[in-house]
C-alpha cells in the first residue's frame, strides 16, 4: 500500500519541481527587463477613478480614504467613489463626512446590500475617467503606488490592467504573520506570471484597468463571490494584457483569527475552482498562451494533488506510530535519547526531491523580498508559516473541493469574517 501511495507522489513532485524551475528560469531570463521597469517615468497623468466598496467598515474606511487622498498624483485627475453596500454601522456617515470635506474628489453613494460586484458596478457607471480601479475599504496604498501603476500604461499601450505589490499591513497575530509569507510568495508569482502574460488574478486592492476594458468585456459579475478572479479569466479569454507593478505597494488587513482565515481562504479556493470550471474552454488551448496551456491547468491540478499529499503524509504518520505502538506492546517501552547521526538520514528519492524543492522555495521568497521595497520580518514570520500553513491547507482544500462537488450554497461567505 505504501509503495503504491508513494508511486503516485512522483507525478506531483515532478510537476511541482518543473513548475518552480520554469518560473525561476522565466524570472532570471527577464530580470533585466524587470529592473528597467523600476525606472519607468510618468510623463502623462490620465484621469483615474478609484471605487471603494464597503460593508460595515467604519473602523478602517477613514484610513483607507486618507491613504487615497495622500497619493502623489494630481488631485484634479483623481476621483474617489465610496459605495456603501447596505452597512449597518457608521460607514456611510464617515463617507459623507469625507465627501463634505473633499467635494471635488470624493463622492459618497449608498445602496441596499447586494455584494461587492454590485457596489463596484455602481461606481463604474458613475466614472468618466480614463482608468478605473478598486480599493477595498480595509486596504491602504503607498503615496507613489498610483503613479507607478500609471507608468506601465504609459509605457505600453497594450497593457489593459496593472496589479500592485500586496502586503499584509502590520501583521501581529500568528495567523497574520503566516499570511505575510503567503503574500510575499505572491509577489514573486505575480511578477513571474506577468512576464509570461499569465497573471492569474487582478486582486481587489488597487488593481487598475483601462476604462475600455469594461466596454469590451462587460462589468463585474457575482462570479461565485470572487469577482476579481473571474474578470481576470474574462480578460485572458479576450486576449487582454495584464502587467504587474512590483514597486506599487498596497497593504491589506489580513484575518487575525483561525476562523476568519479559514472562511476567507475557503471563499478564494472555492471561487477559483468554480470560476475555472466556468471557463474550462481555456484549458490547454494554445490561443490563450502560457495561461491556458500551463499556469491555469497546473494551479487547478495542484488543488487536488495538495489533498493527496495531505492524505499521503497522514498515512505515513499514522503507519509510523502504529508500528511504534506495536513494538511497545511486544517488547515494552524503552525510552532513550534520540541519536542524531547523518548515517541514519533518509536518502530516498522523495526526500532528495523534497529538499531541492524546499531550497527553491526559499529562493523564491528571497527574490520576492528583494523585489519589494517593504522588508517585513521574514526570519520571524517564516517559521510560523512553515509549521502552521501545512496544517490549515488540507482542511481548506478539502472543504473547498467538497463544497464545489456538492454545489453547496455559499452566500454566508459573501463577506469575509475577519473577527
Helix (H, G, I), strand (E, B) or coil at 127: coil
* Positions of the chain with pLDDT lower than 70, given as ranges: 1-2, 336-347, 410-419
Q: What is the pLDDT of residue 237?
A: 96
Tell me, what's the pLDDT at 1? 67
- pLDDT at position 351 is 77
151 forms bridges with which residues in the sheet? Answer: none
The sign of the torsion formed by the CA atoms of 109, 114, 116, 117 equals negative
Locate 254 and state its grid cell.
Answer: 489580513
Query: How many CB atoms sit inside 10 A of residue 43's CB?
Result: 9
Distance from the first to the final alpha carbon of the chain:
43
Q: Which residue has the cell 483623481?
A: 78
Average pLDDT value over all residues in the chain: 90
pLDDT the model gives residue 418: 46
Between CA 295 and CA 291 the distance in angstroms is 5
CA-to-CA distance for 206 and 132, rounded, in angstroms?
9
Core vs surface per residue 398-409: b (16+ CB within 10 A) or e: ebbbebbeeeee
- pLDDT value, residue 332: 77
Per-residue pLDDT, 14:
84
pLDDT at residue number 45: 96
Q: Could you give the CA distance from residue 347 to residue 72 in angstroms, rounded to a whole number? A: 55
The single residue listed with the C-alpha cell 482565515 is 261
Strand partners, 166: 250
What is the pLDDT at residue 345? 59
Q: Which domains does the chain have, with CATH numbers?
A: 1-39+156-328+342-419 (no CATH), 40-139 (3.90.550.10)
* 218 C-beta neighbours (distance < 10 Å), count: 11
Taking the CB of residue 385, how many other CB atoms lie within 10 A of it? 20
What 3 state SS string does 273-286 have? HHHHHHCHHHCCCH
Amino acid at each position: 500500500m505504501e509503495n503504491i501511495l508513494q508511486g503516485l507522489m512522483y507525478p506531483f513532485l515532478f510537476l511541482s519541481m518543473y513548475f518552480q524551475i520554469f518560473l525561476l528560469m522565466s524570472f532570471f531570463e527577464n530580470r533585466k527587463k524587470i529592473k528597467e521597469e523600476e525606472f519607468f517615468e510618468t510623463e502623462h497623468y490620465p484621469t483615474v477613478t478609484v471605487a471603494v466598496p464597503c460593508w460595515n467598515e467604519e473602523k478602517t474606511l477613514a484610513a483607507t480614504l486618507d491613504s487615497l487622498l495622500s497619493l502623489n498624483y494630481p488631485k484634479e485627475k483623481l476621483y474617489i467613489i465610496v459605495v456603501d453596500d447596505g452597512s449597518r454601522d457608521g460607514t456611510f456617515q464617515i463617507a459623507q463626512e469625507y465627501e463634505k470635506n473633499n467635494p471635488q474628489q470624493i463622492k459618497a453613494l449608498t445602496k441596499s446590500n447586494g455584494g461587492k460586484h454590485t457596489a463596484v458596478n455602481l461606481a463604474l457607471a458613475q466614472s468618466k475617467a480614463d482608468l478605473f480601479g478598486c480599493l477595498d475599504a480595509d486596504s491602504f496604498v503607498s503615496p507613489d503606488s498610483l503613479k507607478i501603476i500609471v507608468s506601465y500604461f504609459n509605457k505600453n499601450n497594450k497593457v489593459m490592467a496593472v496589479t500592485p505589490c500586496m502586503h499584509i499591513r502590520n501583521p501581529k497575530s500568528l495567523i497574520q504573520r503566516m499570511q505575510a509569507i503567503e503574500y510575499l510568495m505572491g509577489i514573486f508569482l505575480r511578477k513571474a506570471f506577468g512576464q509570461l502574460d499569465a497573471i492569474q488574478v487582478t486582486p481587489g486592492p488597487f488593481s487598475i484597468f483601462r476604462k475600455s476594458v469594461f466596454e469590451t468585456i462587460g462589468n463585474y459579475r457575482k462570479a461565485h463571490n470572487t469577482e476579481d478572479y473571474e474578470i481576470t479569466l474574462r480578460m485572458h479569454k479576450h486576449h487582454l494584457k495584464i502587467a504587474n507593478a512590483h514597486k506599487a505597494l498596497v497593504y491589506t488587513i489580513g484575518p487575525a483569527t483561525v476562523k476568519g482565515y479559514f472562511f476567507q481562504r475557503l471563499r478564494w479556493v472555492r471561487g477559483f475552482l468554480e470560476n475555472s470550471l466556468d471557463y474550462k474552454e481555456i484549458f490547454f488551448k494554445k490561443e490563450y498562451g502560457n495561461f491556458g496551456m500551463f499556469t491555469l491547468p497546473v494551479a487547478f491540478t495542484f488543488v487536488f494533488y495538495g489533498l493527496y499529499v495531505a492524505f499521503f503524509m497522514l498515512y505515513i504518520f499514522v503507519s509510523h506510530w502504529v508500528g511504534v505502538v506495536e513494538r511497545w506492546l511486544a517488547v515494552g517501552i524503552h525510552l532513550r535519547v534520540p541519536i542524531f547521526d547523518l548515517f541514519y538520514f533518509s536518502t530516498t528519492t522523495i526526500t532528495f526531491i523534497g529538499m531541492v524543492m524546499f531550497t527553491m522555495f526559499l529562493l523564491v521568497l528571497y527574490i520576492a523580498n528583494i523585489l519589494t521595497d517593504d522588508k517585513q520580518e521574514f526570519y520571524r514570520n517564516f517559521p510560523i508559516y512553515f509549521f502552521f500553513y501545512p496544517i490549515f491547507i488540507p482542511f481548506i482544500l478539502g472543504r473547498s473541493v467538497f463544497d464545489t462537488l456538492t454545489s453547496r450554497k455559499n452566500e454566508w461567505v459573501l463577506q469575509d469574517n475577519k473577527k
